[in-house]
Structure 1
Amino acid sequence: MFFIDVQIVFGKDVANQEWYGCSDGTTTGYMKVKKEQIMNGFLPYVNHVVSVVEV
């Protein structure tokens, strides 16, 4: 088994929003999640640190 380092980067405008939405490129595969659940729940749980950058 091998591990790949993953860097999570959010743009400042995205990080300042209440919700994060993404899709698989279709009109039916859309997901909307509260940003706090991602940044303060999921990412710490999987041991990823978030970087916020000005784009």
Structure 2
Amino acid sequence: MQIAGFVVVFSALFVEIRFHPPMWLHLIVWLPMVAGLSLALMRPGRGLMIGLQYRNQR
């Protein structure tokens, strides 16, 4: 979720500085993107965590 937050926050800041869209447009674009990226990265993140636990379990 931190990766998704990083990507979305810096993208939103860039768009705000460059184009100055209204707040409702930010909400329509960035909230679904945060939710989508969080859900998309959940499975690989969980797999990475399990793999690291398996590797370090001695």
Q: TM-score range by the shorter chain?
A: under 0.3
Greater percentage in strand: 1
**TM-score for the superposition, normalised by structure 1:** 0.28
- Normalising by structure 2, we get a TM-score of 0.27
The structure having more radius of gyration, on CA atoms, is 2
